[in-house]
Chains A and B, each alone.
Chain A
Amino acid sequence: MTTTRRPRVIYANPSRAARPRPEASGRERFWWYFMRLSGLALVFLALGHMFIMHVLVVLTGRQIDFAFVQSRWGTPFWRMYDLLLLLLALAHGVNGARIVIGDYVTHRTARGLLLAVLLAISAIWLVAGIAIIAFFDPGAS
């Protein structure tokens, strides 16, 4: 076998004085509850959206086209519905992605960087999404 390598002599503090005491985090608590409550809302919003757009449309023999959007976003109810869906899905999904990054990227700076990127992208898409719903003019043709 190979020659003996001297182990690094470890003079660990045998008392194992504990690391600094962990601190409560209202932030994580908020997001934990948010994921669950938004999830509940999304069951209706997201599944409802998918059902209408991809199932009902077929069953009623319609098409998704500009006209369809026009008629839908002509009513404030559907606009509000889609806005809420957008906000919740984005917040829920992006926070989920944040959690996933936190789980797998343990290097401090890398994690920070990735989260910043995620946040930036999400912000842009959020603004874009709101803009679409807000600025779409159902009267135009």
Chain B
Amino acid sequence: MINLFGYRVSWAQLAWFGHRASGLGVLLFLFLHIVETSTVLLGPEVYDLTQTFYKNLPAKIGEVLLMAALVYHSLNGLRVIVMDFWPSTTVYYRPLTYGVIAATVVAMVPLGAIILTPYLPWG
């Protein structure tokens, strides 16, 4: 596999790094989300205005990324949990890792399509 930072990166290591990055990313969004949702206390006008910021293609791409991050994080989190509570499953860490990555991709195809289609120039 690729050789990053001078150490060959295995899929499992990549999976861990992805878990970490997606977790932090989602957390960051969570902070933003709370700020943005707080406008709901300021009445419909302000809130509806903030919501329009989300209704364009770049924002929707961000939304898909967020979705992907969360889907991946939760699937991989489930993999970690399974191994944690049934250590003998660690023997299958490679297929499990491939499975998580593949499942994320597969899940994101329809989900991405649903979110993006209305905003695509040709959509």
Interface residues in chain A, defined as those with a beta carbon under 8 Å from any beta carbon in chain B: 36, 39-40, 42-43, 46-47, 50, 54-55, 58-59, 63-67, 69, 86, 89-90, 93-94, 96-97, 100, 121, 125, 128-129, 131-132, 135-136, 140-141
Contact = CB atoms under 8 A, between A and B. Distances in A.
Chain A contact residues: helix, strand, loop or mixed: helix
Interface size class of B (residues with CB under 8 A): 35 or more
B47 A66 contact: yes
A47 B71 contact: yes
B114 interface: yes
Please give me the 7 A-B residue pairs with the lowest Cβ-Cβ distance, nearest first. A93-B27, A66-B44, A39-B77, A66-B47, A129-B34, A96-B23, A65-B48
Given A39-B74, A39-B77, A135-B41, A65 B47 contact: yes
14 contacts: A36-B84, A39-B77, A39-B78, A46-B74, A47-B71, A64-B54, A66-B44, A66-B48, A67-B44, A89-B27, A96-B24, A131-B38, A132-B41, A135-B41
